[in-house]
Amino acid sequence: MADERKIELDGLRGYAAIVVVIYHSILGLDGTQLDRILRGAWSDFGPYEVATKIFLKVFDGELAVTLFFVLSGTVLFKSLMREDGGLGSAGRFYVRRFFRIYPALLVCLVVCGLAFAAGGRAVTMQDFIANALLYDFKINGATWTINAEMIAPVFLLLCYAGYKAGREWGLALVAFGLMYLLALPQFDGYLVLFNISWIGFALGALIPTRIGQIAASILPRWSWVAALIAAIILRWPLREIFIALFVAAIYYRRADGIDAFLSSRISQFLGKISYSFYLFNVLFLELICDRLRQYPWAVAHPLEAGICVAAVVTACIIPVAYLSWAYIEMPFNRLGHRLTGRPRITPVVQPAVQ
């Protein structure tokens, strides 16, 4: 299993993107639900609020974003392990990451800025530049996660240096040392968002190592269900740990009942377009929610209205995300690989680790 692409992880990423859309669709109609319901006490709720909280717990956008970070940590760290190079490899690694992320991001920001300006929202060039530099997120709020994704390669490169020096212990020592540094006030600002997401990347990095393989080998094949339920119920940092166990079970193909589903054609299609799907969901979500908030019934029934909004937004995003993937993501992704002289890994399905 050293070099093949784990196609199940692609499918998992696609469904995580859909969860983000559902979560934002419900909260987008009444933002007070975040503190009032999701973080409120169960004893203070009536039946409608209880149902809303359960639904938001199951379709938890924060959990889905943490899943993105764990998946990125796993895939990027495995790429470093495969190349096992020095400073030159690190530079090529970052070039590929830049071409993978930035072209689609810039196109999305241009489209969002033009659409929002046409709708009457003030969008300045300063807003665009700040969002493109991933310092402020007034045009596309969801791109705060891309800030973390662009810092993660540096974090993982340092973790890999620790891994080469001291295997898993070295990786953990570097990760926790960097966590301590990130907590210092001198690193407030551009790095503050990574300070709340580093643990997902660090746990993801452990998955392709010996520790990840051992953990996956001793877990029962049904444990992915328990890990997912625990991740839904628990909060930081236990949530991140159980998400990592969930991903490890899928990575080593020890997740009976879900491996084939995540490898299916529709799952793979959703996985392919997941990045553009995530980027462009804000465009349709804000345009639709801005209109619906004018109707009292939608604000009074955010759960039902939000589910309908999520269905409409998803239907609108899929063709746009596909075009972005086919004509922006893939051409620039291939360019990044050509510039760095690295062949792409062909997806191969292998037997599960016993």
Per this entry, what is the length of the chain? Answer: 354
pTM of the shown model: 0.91
User: Considering only 2-6, 102-106, 161-165, 260-264, which range has the smallest mean pLDDT?
Assistant: 2-6
Is 345 part of any domain?
Answer: no
Mean pLDDT of 148-174: 92
Kindly report the number of other CB atoms within 10 A of residue 313's CB atom: 26
Is 105 part of any domain?
Answer: yes
Using alpha carbons only, give the angle 312, 316, 319 rounded to the nearest 5 degrees: 145
Is 351 part of any domain?
Answer: no
* Domain carrying residue 151: 7-340
Is 156 part of any domain?
Answer: yes
- pLDDT digits 0-9 by tens, 272-318: 999 999 999 999 999 999 889 889 999 899 999 999 999 999 999 99
Is 224 part of any domain?
Answer: yes
Is 97 part of any domain?
Answer: yes
pLDDT for residue 112: 94
pLDDT for residue 349: 38
Q: State the Rg of the chain over Cα.
A: 20
3-state secondary structure 167-210: HHHHHHHHHHHHHHHHCCHHHCCCCCCHHHCHHHHHHHHHCCCH
Q: How many independent structural domains does the chain possess?
A: 1
Q: What is the DSSP letter of 89?
A: H
Is 349 part of any domain?
Answer: no
Is 350 part of any domain?
Answer: no
* CA 292 to centroid of chain Cα atoms: 27
